[in-house]
Structure 1
Amino acid sequence: MSFCPAVVFLWVACACCLAGAAQSPWSVSSPDGALVLTAEGGAAPTLRVSRGGQPVVPPSPWGITTRRQGPLPGGLQVAASTRSVVDETYVMPTGKRSRCRNHANQLTVDFASAEGVRFSVILRAYDEGVAYRYHIHGSGEDTVTGEASAFRIPAGSRCWSAPFSKSYESIYQENAGFAGIQHEIQLPLLCQFPGKQWVYLTEASVDGTYAGSRLKVLDAAAGLLGLQLADAPTAALPWTTPWRVLLVVDDLRQLVESTLINNLNPPSAIADTSWIKPGTAIFPWLTGTEGGGGPCHRNNNGSLERMQEFVDLAATMGWSWIEFDNALALDTPFGGAPEKWMDCPWFPQLTAYAGRKGIAVYGWDHVCNLDTPEKRQTQLDWYVAKGFKGIKVDFLDSDVQARYRLREDLARDCAARHLLISYHGDITPRGMQRTWPNIATHEGVIGEEFYHGFGPFAPSPAYNVNLVFTRNVAGSMDYTPTTFDNPGKNHSRSTTNAHEIALPVVFESGWQAMGFNPESIKLHPQACAFLKDLPSTWDDVRLVAGQPNEFAVVARRKGGDWWIGGINAASARELRLDLGFLAKGTHACTLYHDAPPPADSAAVAPLDTLIAADPLTIDPAQPLVIAVPANGGFGFRIVNGAQ
């Protein structure tokens, strides 16, 4: 597949006259006319958002301060304003859908002083959200010392947030108001406002010229949250900052299905993407760590013979990748120095064996082995020479400017060698996959590796549901699902097995790293039947139904087939699902779901639950009714179900 987007940029109503441009406020509306982003100037500039003529986001501060220029726009006068239409389509080898449309209206307001200082604010409105960014004109270098960018959350809003952590591994949970919150809040933040609109706050198009942001409570009583930069970025002028993003929707389907965050990023820097072929993978480490932990009680990466068993399993399941944690194979803590493992003779034997089976292998390395150009040349050339097709880079653990620059350097240097890359111990994505489509996935989530006890929390059913509406909206998520065994070092799994098989459909990741092993898979034939030939790249997505804290049902299309997965939280419920997006007529398939517990058992632990497989006939003209137990789930595949 070559990256050849069809692009149309329409520039209209250019360069309003000085007198007309000086009039504040300035507004831009979405293509469908429903959303309006309005900016006010003056001594305390504000932005506000309305939907359908009704106020949604109250007036909220905007502006930026640099070391050379001070607060902007400050006392600058409006010089001109320019309206434009953005309308383009582009292709993605990963993500929610293979073809994306970037369609928005844009307004650029230019400010200037008699001394020649120039500054612009760029406002953009999509059907499902709005965004704004700053452009600092001039030459030389400057440093951003802070932003006034902030958001007012109305009283009475419900919010789902996670405390900031450097690896973005925190629990999303609901909170009412911000009183008493002293910690920073990581992006994204999801809110349901009193008017029932859903508002999702994040940022997009952060690169090596800037730093990442998080939210800080500035005034709990007023619901005012300010953007805080990870550090003070410095760059050459002219300088365009990242987008500050608010998705504003009436229906959660618009949120979950949106590609707005990717849309706001630059087009692919890779001209020919035909070699970029992510896929479903097996993650041997998850069930057998380098210390002999996990249900396999061994280092699954520790021998050629053991890893060949996982390659055979991937081939049997019709999956195209396997992760091999080469730097951990010799029990070196955190990978150790590369010279301790680079000469291991059986590494290229493994990649050759996998290649003969049609399985690609990606490796693992610590970021400290790749953080300079010289190290990257040595290490990445080694991976290519040994037959690896990709690499997981771990422990990035930062969103300062230097780390964003390193992410770009890693993606660029991997692309030059036709290597895919995954960022582990990493941030919630900001849409970088559009520019560097060889990025298969990011972590930035508490996934199933946390059952090993890497912290005070592990995934709960409600947390899994909330990820659908928070973390995974932003981009690919390396959650590593389907741990049927319980690693159980410090935490126990509370999901049912049917909940587990639904996760790789409900969650999107270019490398969907599965927790299967050759032993446990024999105990779960129904799981194998459902997940055989599972894709990890998709042509389309639908949120069928769902609510934070409660349940989520997601449908993903590959070619003519729809895969549908549902997960439930703490309360049993009966779901009535509208499948009107399917082709007309009846569709026969198999429903994989939680089997009823044995009659003689008062309580069945999640690890003892069975998966039932029952024939199912679906008529898209009628609601599909499915009963789901607490913490349960289900999945089914409709072959040739696309319209």
Structure 2
Amino acid sequence: MKYLNFFAFLLLLTSAKYSYCQKQSVVFSSPNKRLMLTVNTADKKLAYSVKLGNTTIIKSSALGLVVDSTNLGDNARITGAAVLSKINEDYAIIGNHTVAHNRANEAEIPVTAWGKKFSLIVRVYDDGVAIRYTLPANAKRIDSEHTAWTLPDNIAKIAWADYSQSYEGLNYVTPLDKVTEGKTIMGPITFQTNGYYVSISEADCENFPDMAFMRTGNVLSVNYPFAKKGWEIKPATAVLKGTYKGKPVSPWRTTLVAGSLNQLVNSDLITNLCPPPAKGSDFSWVKPGRSLWQWWSVGEPKLDDQKKWYDAAAKLKWEYYLVDDGWRNWKQDGKDQWQLLKEVIDYGKTVGVKSIVWVDSKEFRKAPERRAYLQKVKALGADGIKIDFIPDATAEIMQWYAETQKECADLHLLLNFHGSVKPTGLRRTFPNDITREAIRGNEYHMTRYSRVMPPQHDVTVPFTRLLTGPADFTSVILNPKELTSTKFTWPHEFAQTIVYLSPITHFADQYQFYLDSPLFDLFQQIPTTWDETRVLSCTSLGDIAAFARRKGNTWWIGVMNGATEQEVKIPLNFLTKPTKASLVYDGETNTSVDRKEQVVSNKDVLTIKLRPSGGFVAKM
């Protein structure tokens, strides 16, 4: 048996001198030397495991990509010394904080299986590990993948989502044995074990189909719901070609490990694994903000109603208005929908509100049509585009996403994919990909479609889908009619803007509800990106989500409760001095608030009684 420590490896020989033994094992450690990744070939099967100190995070689990009918995880042997490198960089990021720290140890391990040569590339961070495969020379087809995560025996809770082509399935927190077995489920999947929170997903998916999961016992395996029979490897057409250091590769398979929900949410593992923007790129034009949006509350936009929406956005001091599906049907004598759309956008500029325009992806699935359409939208004066109804996330469509990200970046168009696949960290490469749907949001809580959202979903998605990147949940329902099924409270709804990260936040309801709200002044001030984020200690996976976020010198607290009435305490020890605070509690009904203005200090502890589906908001 041979062992390789990341910092002191001596025993792996060159391929010329290498003699095979029944089990080879190489061990790599994180920069702080606490998290350990082991890769081995016991019984000629390529496998890995993860430990944090003496605690097992992932038990011995299969590795293997099936290429041209050959499983690269079988009959495998490590054929030489790993090529080691270190990752050490900082970069600006728009989201939970302003700077991401990318510190990792990386190794490229040469492997041979059935005579095919490839490499396993691994990275070990203080807060997680990532593994990807290089493809053998002249590979023509990917048939399937056998990468798996064998979970520890004592899973306290696990958070997961139903299968959905566009990630709009319900999210749950259950015991492991309640997770659907033998059927596709969607990630990220987050579980609590041995005092740690672990989340598994993927990063830097450029030209592979989207990865989902399937459970068998305590094993979660890679599943390709949009490429069940595999796919042919085709030449990449996008700037993102699915290569790393010049070699064709799979996406990273990620395992995020955190000692708390705060560490989990603040991890930048997914973006750290993605390439930076191209040299010379300038994304200073990417501006977060708040947006009005009419489709949820009133349906298709009416041409003669648009000025009222822009005027309302201006009164709210919001930066954007989204002209959603329906503008294509506008007509006036002598004017087509494009001319009318330009008039609407021009009016928005006169009141200081920028415009985002909805489009169906079928308008431009091919490159020439896509470029022409995007140029036309930009020429109208729009600042962003919302692209909806995107096909299944096959390898080809993942290239379409990358091409669209690049072309929108070139045209300085903000980008919001709807009816889409989950992000995999490539907003680092293209920061104009500022938010996307890929979540069961408030479109699934609306009376005109008889849709009702259960409260557990609301307090679960911050620790599943949102771990991969911003989500356009279309937050904040205030209309009492829409809050009669599940009686979400107004503070719960407002807290969505604090708990759910979306650098452009689209507010769901009709504008008059915000203008008439007792929280009108707070709507004028709420940020959408943050300098610092803290997940508060009263947070419990699947029960309650409580976040404190700082923008400049101002702290905002958002608390969202699940289905059970409860009382929580929030220490204000993050404050640096006594300060005026606006405190918004659940009111006597779910569509009222109990608002208080008082001075608070870092010695205070707030005691908050939460209704079922209730919430709390504070600005201080």
TM-score normalised according to structure 1 size: 0.86
**What letter is aligned with 2:305?**
R
**What letter is aligned with 1:127?**
D
- SS of equivalent to 1:467: helix
**Distance across 1 between alignment mates of 2:62 and 2:451:** 35
Q: Which residue is equivalent to 2:289?
A: 279
Task: Tell me if structure 2 keeps the 8 A contact 1:451–1:488.
Answer: yes
Structure 1 residue 177, shift from structure 2 partner: 2.8
Task: Tell me if structure 1 keeps the 8 A contact 2:447–2:482.
Answer: yes
Structure 1 residue 114, shift from structure 2 partner: 11
Task: Tell me if structure 2 keeps the 8 A contact 1:79–1:112.
Answer: no
Task: Tell me if structure 1 keeps the 8 A contact 2:291–2:313.
Answer: yes
**Distance across 1 between alignment mates of 2:305 and 2:481:** 19
**Deviation per residue, 1:381-401 (Å, 9 max, x gap):** 210121111100001142211
Q: 2:514 aligns with which of 521, 537, 545?
A: 521
**Distance across 1 between alignment mates of 2:566 and 2:159:** 22
Pair 1:262-2:271 in alignment: yes
- SS of equivalent to 2:362: helix
**What letter is aligned with 1:527?**
L
**Distance across 1 between alignment mates of 2:165 and 2:130:** 25
How many pairs are equivalent? 589
**Distance across 2 between alignment mates of 1:579 and 1:612:** 20
Q: 2:529 aligns with which of 532, 537, 547?
A: 537
Q: 1:433 aligns with which of 402, 414, 427?
A: 427
The Cα RMSD (Å) is 2.7
Structure 1 residue 542, shift from structure 2 partner: 1.4
Q: Which residue is equivalent to 1:3?
A: none
**Distance across 2 between alignment mates of 1:494 and 1:370:** 41
Task: Tell me if structure 2 keeps the 8 A contact 1:486–1:493.
Answer: no
**Deviation per residue, 1:258-288 (Å, 9 max, x gap):** 1111111111237101111121111111211
**Distance across 2 between alignment mates of 1:46 and 1:111:** 12
Cα distance, 1:114–1:212 mapped onto 2, change above 3 Å: closer
- SS of equivalent to 2:536: strand
**What letter is aligned with 1:252?**
L
**Distance across 2 between alignment mates of 1:55 and 1:70:** 27
Comparing 159-168 with 129-138, greater Cα deviation is found at 129-138
**Distance across 1 between alignment mates of 2:141 and 2:364:** 27
**What letter is aligned with 2:597?**
P
**Deviation per residue, 1:498-526 (Å, 9 max, x gap):** 111111011101210012433323441x2
**Distance across 2 between alignment mates of 1:82 and 1:480:** 46
Comparing 141-150 with 341-350, greater Cα deviation is found at 341-350
Comparing 344-353 with 143-152, greater Cα deviation is found at 344-353
Q: Specify every segment of 5 or more residues in structure 1 that has no aligned partner in the other structure, as ranges.
A: 1-10, 291-300, 598-603, 639-643
**Distance across 2 between alignment mates of 1:84 and 1:457:** 51
Pair 1:424-2:418 in alignment: yes
- SS of equivalent to 2:535: strand
Cα distance, 1:17–1:630 mapped onto 2, change above 3 Å: same
**Distance across 2 between alignment mates of 1:412 and 1:495:** 39
- SS of equivalent to 1:428: coil
**Distance across 2 between alignment mates of 1:182 and 1:468:** 26
Structure 1 residue 431, shift from structure 2 partner: 0.7
Structure 1 residue 141, shift from structure 2 partner: 4.5
Q: Which residue is equivalent to 1:295?
A: none
Structure 1 residue 419, shift from structure 2 partner: 0.5
Q: 1:475 aligns with which of 458, 469, 478?
A: 469
Structure-to-structure mapping, 1:222-233, within 5 angstroms: 223-229=218-224, 230-231=226-227, 232-233=230-231
Task: Tell me if structure 1 keeps the 8 A contact 2:456–2:542.
Answer: yes
Q: Which residue is equivalent to 2:119?
A: 120
Structure 1 residue 454, shift from structure 2 partner: 8.8
**Distance across 1 between alignment mates of 2:32 and 2:131:** 19
Cα distance, 1:24–1:624 mapped onto 2, change above 3 Å: farther
Pair 1:83-2:84 in alignment: yes
Q: Which residue is equivalent to 2:240?
A: none
Q: Which residue is equivalent to 2:561?
A: 568
**Distance across 2 between alignment mates of 1:20 and 1:631:** 62
Comparing 569-578 with 411-420, greater Cα deviation is found at 569-578
Task: Tell me if structure 1 keeps the 8 A contact 2:41–2:78.
Answer: no
Structure 1 residue 439, shift from structure 2 partner: 0.5
Q: Which residue is equivalent to 1:211?
A: 209
Cα distance, 1:14–1:50 mapped onto 2, change above 3 Å: closer
**Distance across 2 between alignment mates of 1:113 and 1:172:** 38
Comparing 451-460 with 180-189, greater Cα deviation is found at 451-460
Cα distance, 1:471–1:57 mapped onto 2, change above 3 Å: same
- SS of equivalent to 2:527: coil
- SS of equivalent to 1:79: coil
Cα distance, 1:476–1:51 mapped onto 2, change above 3 Å: same
Cα distance, 1:487–1:572 mapped onto 2, change above 3 Å: closer
Structure 1 residue 178, shift from structure 2 partner: 4.0
**Deviation per residue, 1:351-405 (Å, 9 max, x gap):** 1111122211000011100211122122112101211111000011422111111
Q: Which residue is equivalent to 1:296?
A: none
**Deviation per residue, 1:588-640 (Å, 9 max, x gap):** 21112222x2xxxxxx4x3xx212220233222443332322211111222xx
Structure 1 residue 347, shift from structure 2 partner: 1.3
**Distance across 2 between alignment mates of 1:64 and 1:114:** 13
**What letter is aligned with 1:610?**
S
Structure-to-structure mapping, 1:22-37, within 5 angstroms: 24-37=24-37
- Structure 1 runs (4+) deviating above 4 angstroms are 11-17, 19-23, 112-115, 453-457, 486-489
**What letter is aligned with 1:224?**
V
- SS of equivalent to 2:339: coil
**Distance across 1 between alignment mates of 2:342 and 2:438:** 30
Q: Which residue is equivalent to 2:327?
A: 329
Task: Tell me if structure 1 keeps the 8 A contact 2:436–2:471.
Answer: yes
**What letter is aligned with 2:392?**
S
Task: Tell me if structure 1 keeps the 8 A contact 2:416–2:435.
Answer: yes
Task: Tell me if structure 2 keeps the 8 A contact 1:34–1:53.
Answer: no
Task: Tell me if structure 2 keeps the 8 A contact 1:37–1:125.
Answer: yes
Task: Tell me if structure 2 keeps the 8 A contact 1:618–1:624.
Answer: no
State, as a whole percentage, how many aligned pairs show the same letter: 25
- SS of equivalent to 1:185: strand
**What letter is aligned with 2:131?**
Y
Q: 2:140 aligns with which of 127, 139, 142?
A: 142
**What letter is aligned with 2:296?**
L
Q: Specify every segment of 5 or more residues in structure 2 that has no aligned partner in the other structure, as ranges.
A: 1-5, 236-242
**Distance across 1 between alignment mates of 2:87 and 2:9:** 14
Pair 1:253-2:252 in alignment: no
Cα distance, 1:47–1:579 mapped onto 2, change above 3 Å: farther
TM-score normalised according to structure 2 size: 0.89
**Distance across 2 between alignment mates of 1:111 and 1:372:** 38
Q: Which residue is equivalent to 1:586?
A: 578
